[in-house]
A = this chain, B = another copy of it.
Amino acid sequence: MKTLQQSFTVPFQYSVYFTRKLFDKENHTFVEVLDTSIGPKKVLFVFDQGVVDHHPDLIEQTQQYVATHADKIINPGKHLILPGGEQCKNDYNHVNRLVESINELGIDRHSYLAVIGGGSVLDTAGFAAAVSHRGIRLLRIPTTVLSQNDSGVGVKNGVNAFQKKNFIGSFAPPAAVINDREFLHTLEIRDWRSGIAEGIKVGLIKDISFFKFIEDSAQQLLERDMEVMDHLIYRCAELHLQHIASGDAFEMGSSRPLDFGHWSAHKLEQIDDYQIRHGEAVALGMALDAIYSYLEGRLSQSDLERILYLMLSLGFVMFHEGLKSPLLLEGLREFQEHLGGQLTVMLLEQIGKGVEVHSIDPDLVLKSVEVLQGFNKNHQLDL
């Protein structure tokens, strides 16, 4: 039998910029990010309704910015606004509307879609961009802690279907990411806190010194100290990017190390009909898997206590009735099914050191839920 072997690599490169007041006239970050070597480029702006509500001048500001830089940016004459939060990802019509606009406005593979918003809007617009003309250039301008330090700097997009998170999506690295910390001032406290969960996550599985930084800064983070948050976001994004670049960027294997605490978190979000924030659910999921790690004899009691008390000190609610739902354990199957292959769940050996396991004991999960519920009630570990 004759066989032809195909083998090639595709290089991907992008930068994550950290700036302030992105659309001020004198801020040149945005135009410098565009590749205008062969002429000005069309940029279609997509806004998160929640961001527009908090920054009523934003649309006008971007329009003025575009007008000021007319030598580099072509205004396609229209912008789009998507509802923020998970509802955006739950309604495929938003994808259709975006793809239709990309067609109508003649946005091509060398034009840009610039999306300003939280993770859900970035994900929805990112997917529409990825499948139009087999991928048009995406500029992500994340406006939440969570999207600035985690989802918005990565290579994935996705929308929900069949009540499953990110059932439809793709791997599509952005052309660039621009983090503007000014957007963080107007976040609700729940969203501010929610993003810290992903920082705790990378600390727990990868970097004890980063975990310790969050411990030491807990009070300042509670008081919304912007310098501390700035460092948290930068370092978390950096660890996230390093992880993607060092391994299986498009997740062809069975491993999902960055999804520590996520198997139950995703399910809990669905059980709670997406009322709970992603980061809040991740905090609970990590607490659960940390307790599980302890009960299995992997993690020391003192490390477990440090983890739970850090979350408590940051104001995370340490229990949710949804964790008692009989649906919870289905999350494990769905987590496996998304990647397929072997069940692979990250647990902890110590703070800063994750370990992958391939089986989970359902009874021990239920026991972990009870321990967490007890901790939430008494603020102490009852083991």
CB contacts under 8 Å to B, within A113-127, are: 127
Q: Are B10 and A14 in contact (CB under 8 A)?
A: no
CB contacts under 8 Å to B, within A222-258, are: 234, 237-238, 241, 244-245, 249-252, 254
Q: Are B109 and A251 in contact (CB under 8 A)?
A: yes
How often does this chain occur in the complex, in copies?
2
A168-B99, A168-B131 given; A4·B241 CB < 8 A: yes
A9-B12, A237-B4 given; A170·B110 CB < 8 A: no
If over half of A's interface residues share one DSSP class (helix, strand or loop), that class is named, otherwise mixed; here it is mixed
| Segment with Cβ contacts to B, from A159-167, A193-201, A290-298 | A159-167
Sorting the interface of chain A by its residue count into under 10, 10 to 19, 20 to 34 or 35 or more gives: 35 or more
CB contacts under 8 Å to B, within A149-188, are: 153, 156, 158, 161-162, 164, 166-171, 173
Additional 19 contacts, C-beta under 8 A, given A4-B241, A106-B337, A134-B171: A1-B17, A1-B18, A3-B15, A3-B17, A6-B14, A6-B153, A6-B173, A8-B11, A8-B245, A99-B167, A99-B168, A109-B338, A110-B254, A110-B339, A111-B340, A133-B339, A133-B340, A134-B156, A136-B340
A16-B4, A106-B337, A341-B38 given; A10·B170 CB < 8 A: no
Q: Are A339 and B171 in contact (CB under 8 A)?
A: no
Q: What is the 8 Å Cβ interface bit string for chain A, positions 90-123, against chain B (1 contact, 0 not)?
A: 0000000001100100101111000000000000
Chain A positions within 8 Å of B, measured between CB atoms, are 1-19, 29, 38, 99-100, 103, 106, 108-111, 127, 130-136, 153, 156, 158, 161-162, 164, 166-171, 173, 234, 237-238, 241, 244-245, 249-252, 254, 336-342
A38 partner residues in chain B, CB cutoff 8 A:
341-342
A250 partner residues in chain B, CB cutoff 8 A:
10, 135
Q: Which listed residue, B12, B100, B161, touches A103 by the CB 8 Å rule? A: B161
Q: How far is the CA of A347 from the CA of B169 in the complex (A)?
A: 37
Q: Are B132 and A167 in contact (CB under 8 A)?
A: yes
Q: Which listed residue, B19, B131, B340, touches A169 by the CB 8 Å rule? A: B131
Q: How far is the CA of A132 from the CA of B135 in the complex (A)?
A: 16
A132 partner residues in chain B, CB cutoff 8 A:
167-168
A158 partner residues in chain B, CB cutoff 8 A:
134
Q: How far is the CA of A12 from the CA of B8 in the complex (A)?
A: 6
A251 partner residues in chain B, CB cutoff 8 A:
109, 134
Q: Kindly provide the distance from the CB of A108 to the nearest chain B CB, expressed in whole angstroms.
A: 3
Most buried by B among A134, A237, A241, A254: A134
